[in-house]
Structure 1
């Protein structure tokens, strides 16, 4: 019995040393600029930017292959943050090619209509939909990124996108550009 424990302990130590060596020897260095760009992106993995996810889009921006205004879920705040980080001029979202920014949205499933087909679960890139085959599904609101990828595969159209109510966690000060537009709207409405 003691011999078996010692043999397993020795084997574990050898494998630990091999894994430690491999981690050092084959370490892949990542570009810190790509990591910073990726941290700004909303991590919806929606593909509206034309790339397979946020990380490939960040790599394309860093390489100069993509513009900073291709991410609708990131909105104006994301574009401004990317422009500040990279020292580029702010360019508004390219809505014609990539869609419009609608604010923070989440999917809601009408559980009375849901047939439990699991197609929305398979389409969700962040696993925000909970359910099983032939059982109703529901969305974990805190996990949903609002990418809208679950809507198209639904055969019974039981998924809607609804805006997240603004509370203290989502509220932000309006930018100076937004304030100028708001003031102009008020002056034309009263005049």
Structure 2
């Protein structure tokens, strides 16, 4: 029986943290399925995730590879709102749109949507984002499914914005060409 990337992806925590060395859970699943990555590269999945993958793939479980991090309790991002300058640099890296805010206004994290990926921490120029223990530390497959849906929705939204931007630029170029043509 051939195991698909979709079956592997279904077992991953969907934090989209990139700690595995890939751009998200789906690319990591594809790499495992194609034999380009090992099953022990996901710190958020930890030992339990490695055991699920080893069972699915029919291979021996192994410890989490230290080069990819360490297993630890689930964390969530918390923004010190008094220190937030509203720069919006934390918004793009958030894989699930768990951060609310706009330019020059305070930001906040929707705790229930935060995967604990930590991708928002490094871009913050004033270090007002910290990672704190999640009030509900158990990350379930239901949580992973919810995060996958939010991640996919964000990617669809961004793709739609890019398409709309390209269409606007095309219309502007056509209008400019038309104007230039009438001038000659």
TM-score normalised to the size of structure 1? 0.69
Separation in 1 of the partners of 2:55 and 2:20? 19
Instruction: Find the counterpart in structure 1 of residue 47 from structure 2.
Output: 76
How is 1:23-102 mapped onto 2 (pairs within 5 angstroms)? 33-95=4-66, 97-102=67-72
In the TM superposition, what is the alpha-carbon distance from 1:33 to its structure 2 partner? 1.9
Q: Number of paired residues?
A: 139
Separation in 1 of the partners of 2:71 and 2:113? 19
Instruction: Find the counterpart in structure 2 of residue 119 from structure 1.
Output: 89
Higher relative contact order (CA 8 A, sep 6+): 2
Select between 31-40 and 82-91 the one with higher mean Cα deviation. Answer: 31-40
Instruction: Find the counterpart in structure 1 of residue 101 from structure 2.
Output: 131
Separation in 2 of the partners of 1:136 and 1:108? 12
Structure with max Cα Rg: 1
Contact residue 13 and residue 139 of structure 2 kept, 8 A:
no
Once the two structures are superposed, residues 19-39 of structure 1 have per-residue CA deviations (whole angstroms, 9 ceiling, x without a partner) of: xxxxxxxxxxxx862111001
TM-score normalised to the size of structure 2? 0.71
In the TM superposition, what is the alpha-carbon distance from 1:166 to its structure 2 partner? 4.5
- Specify the SS of the correspondent of 1:150: coil
Contact residue 15 and residue 115 of structure 2 kept, 8 A:
yes
Separation in 2 of the partners of 1:155 and 1:171? 30
Hey, which bits of structure 1, 4+ residues long, moved more than 4 A? none
Instruction: Find the counterpart in structure 2 of residue 10 from structure 1.
Output: none
Unmatched 5+ stretches in structure 1: 1-30, 173-191
- Specify the SS of the correspondent of 1:55: helix
Instruction: Find the counterpart in structure 2 of residue 141 from structure 1.
Output: 111
Unmatched 5+ stretches in structure 2: 141-184
Instruction: Find the counterpart in structure 2 of residue 155 from structure 1.
Output: 125
In the TM superposition, what is the alpha-carbon distance from 1:46 to its structure 2 partner? 1.4
Contact residue 3 and residue 57 of structure 2 kept, 8 A:
no
Contact residue 123 and residue 150 of structure 1 kept, 8 A:
yes
Contact residue 117 and residue 134 of structure 1 kept, 8 A:
yes
